[in-house]
Chains A and B, each alone.
Chain A
Amino acid sequence: KAGVTQTPRYLIKTRGQQVTLSCSPISGHRSVSWYQQTPGQGLQFLFEYFSETQRNKGNFPGRFSGRQFSNSRSEMNVSTLELGDSALYLCASSLVGLAGANTGELFFGEGSRLTVL
Chain B
Amino acid sequence: SQQGEEDPQALSIQEGENATMNCSYKTSINNLQWYRQNSGRGLVHLILIRSNEREKHSGRLRVTLDTSKKSSSLLITASRAADTASYFCAPRLDRGSTLGRLYFGRGTQLTVWP
Contacts and interface: CB of A to CB of B under 8 A. Distances in A.
To the question of whether A and B form a pair in one complex, the answer is yes
A114 interface: no
A106 B43 contact: yes
A97 to B, nearest CB: 9
Interface string A41-55: 011010010100001
A111 B35 CA distance: 15
A92 B106 CA distance: 18
Interface of chain A: mostly helix, strand, loop or mixed? strand
Given A104-B92, A105-B33, A56 B99 contact: yes
Given A4-B42, A110-B41, A111-B41, A104 B99 contact: no
A42 B48 contact: no
B98 A104 contact: no
Nearest to A55: B99
Interface string A22-66: 000000000111010000001101001010000110100000000
A33 B95 contact: no
B99 A90 contact: no
Interface of B: 31, 33, 35, 40-45, 48, 88, 92, 95-107
Interface of A: 4, 31-33, 35, 42-43, 45, 48, 50, 55-56, 58, 88, 90, 92-94, 96, 100-102, 104-111, 113
